[in-house]
Amino acid sequence: MINRKLLVAAAAAIVAAGGGALAVVPALAATKTVTVKDNVFAPTALTVAKGTTVRWVWRGRAAHNVSVSRGPTRFHSPNKVRGSYSKQLGRAGTYAIHCTIHPGMKMTVKVR
Protein backbone atom coordinates (compact mmCIF):
# COMPACT_ATOMS: atom_id res chain seq x y z
CA MET A 1 0.00 0.00 0.00
CA ILE A 2 1.33 3.49 -0.88
CA ASN A 3 1.84 5.91 2.02
CA ARG A 4 -0.57 8.65 1.02
CA LYS A 5 0.60 11.16 3.63
CA LEU A 6 4.20 10.96 2.35
CA LEU A 7 3.05 11.48 -1.25
CA VAL A 8 1.06 14.59 -0.30
CA ALA A 9 4.02 16.01 1.63
CA ALA A 10 6.37 15.39 -1.33
CA ALA A 11 3.95 17.06 -3.75
CA ALA A 12 3.62 20.09 -1.46
CA ALA A 13 7.41 20.38 -1.23
CA ILE A 14 7.74 20.31 -5.02
CA VAL A 15 5.09 23.02 -5.43
CA ALA A 16 6.78 25.20 -2.79
CA ALA A 17 10.18 24.85 -4.48
CA GLY A 18 8.71 25.56 -7.91
CA GLY A 19 6.87 28.62 -6.65
CA GLY A 20 10.04 29.98 -5.07
CA ALA A 21 12.02 29.49 -8.25
CA LEU A 22 9.37 31.19 -10.35
CA ALA A 23 9.32 34.22 -8.04
CA VAL A 24 13.09 34.67 -8.52
CA VAL A 25 13.13 34.38 -12.32
CA PRO A 26 11.75 37.83 -13.35
CA ALA A 27 14.47 39.74 -11.46
CA LEU A 28 17.24 37.59 -12.95
CA ALA A 29 15.77 37.73 -16.45
CA ALA A 30 15.94 41.54 -16.87
CA THR A 31 17.65 42.26 -20.18
CA LYS A 32 18.38 45.57 -21.93
CA THR A 33 19.29 45.64 -25.59
CA VAL A 34 21.84 47.94 -27.24
CA THR A 35 22.05 48.10 -31.04
CA VAL A 36 25.54 48.05 -32.56
CA LYS A 37 25.26 50.08 -35.76
CA ASP A 38 27.98 51.28 -38.11
CA ASN A 39 30.11 53.40 -35.85
CA VAL A 40 27.53 54.14 -33.16
CA PHE A 41 25.94 52.36 -30.23
CA ALA A 42 22.24 53.05 -29.67
CA PRO A 43 21.58 54.19 -27.03
CA THR A 44 24.91 55.80 -26.07
CA ALA A 45 23.97 55.89 -22.37
CA LEU A 46 22.09 53.31 -20.37
CA THR A 47 21.29 52.94 -16.67
CA VAL A 48 20.33 49.50 -15.39
CA ALA A 49 19.75 47.74 -12.09
CA LYS A 50 22.51 45.50 -10.75
CA GLY A 51 22.14 41.99 -12.18
CA THR A 52 20.72 43.16 -15.49
CA THR A 53 21.96 41.46 -18.62
CA VAL A 54 22.94 43.87 -21.39
CA ARG A 55 22.64 42.38 -24.86
CA TRP A 56 24.41 44.06 -27.76
CA VAL A 57 22.89 43.20 -31.14
CA TRP A 58 24.86 43.83 -34.35
CA ARG A 59 22.90 45.60 -37.08
CA GLY A 60 25.59 47.23 -39.26
CA ARG A 61 27.79 46.00 -42.10
CA ALA A 62 31.25 46.65 -40.64
CA ALA A 63 32.91 44.64 -37.87
CA HIS A 64 32.63 46.04 -34.35
CA ASN A 65 33.31 44.93 -30.80
CA VAL A 66 32.20 45.81 -27.28
CA SER A 67 35.13 46.55 -24.97
CA VAL A 68 35.19 47.99 -21.46
CA SER A 69 37.93 50.62 -21.20
CA ARG A 70 37.09 51.60 -17.61
CA GLY A 71 34.69 50.04 -15.12
CA PRO A 72 34.11 47.74 -12.15
CA THR A 73 34.80 44.73 -14.38
CA ARG A 74 36.39 44.38 -17.81
CA PHE A 75 35.04 42.39 -20.71
CA HIS A 76 35.65 42.33 -24.41
CA SER A 77 33.49 40.80 -27.13
CA PRO A 78 35.01 39.29 -30.26
CA ASN A 79 34.91 41.38 -33.45
CA LYS A 80 31.54 40.62 -35.01
CA VAL A 81 29.38 41.67 -37.96
CA ARG A 82 26.18 39.93 -36.86
CA GLY A 83 24.65 38.16 -33.91
CA SER A 84 24.79 39.35 -30.32
CA TYR A 85 26.93 39.47 -27.21
CA SER A 86 25.46 39.43 -23.71
CA LYS A 87 26.94 40.26 -20.34
CA GLN A 88 25.26 40.17 -16.95
CA LEU A 89 26.43 43.18 -14.94
CA GLY A 90 26.61 42.21 -11.28
CA ARG A 91 28.82 45.03 -10.01
CA ALA A 92 27.62 48.59 -9.56
CA GLY A 93 29.43 51.51 -11.17
CA THR A 94 29.97 53.16 -14.51
CA TYR A 95 31.26 51.13 -17.42
CA ALA A 96 32.95 53.11 -20.20
CA ILE A 97 32.57 51.01 -23.34
CA HIS A 98 33.98 51.49 -26.82
CA CYS A 99 34.68 49.64 -30.03
CA THR A 100 38.45 49.22 -30.37
CA ILE A 101 38.18 49.33 -34.17
CA HIS A 102 36.43 52.73 -34.12
CA PRO A 103 37.75 54.82 -31.21
CA GLY A 104 34.92 57.37 -31.51
CA MET A 105 32.31 54.65 -31.05
CA LYS A 106 31.54 54.93 -27.33
CA MET A 107 28.84 54.39 -24.76
CA THR A 108 28.41 54.22 -21.01
CA VAL A 109 26.43 51.78 -18.90
CA LYS A 110 25.62 52.82 -15.34
CA VAL A 111 24.80 49.94 -13.01
CA ARG A 112 23.15 50.88 -9.70
List of residues contacting Cu ion (CB under 5 A): 64, 99, 101-102, 105
59/91 with CB nearer Cu ion: 59
Question: Three-state DSSP class for 10?
Answer: helix
Q: What is the dihedral of CA 16, 17, 20, 24, to 10 degrees?
A: -160
105/109 with CB nearer Cu ion: 105
50/74 with CB nearer Cu ion: 74
Residue whose C-alpha is closest to residue 89's, from 64, 112, 66 = 112
**Least distance in Å: CB of 27 to Cu ion?**
32
**Least distance in Å: CB of 47 to Cu ion?**
23
70 and 49 in contact (C-beta within 8 Å)? Answer: no
**Least distance in Å: CB of 100 to Cu ion?**
8
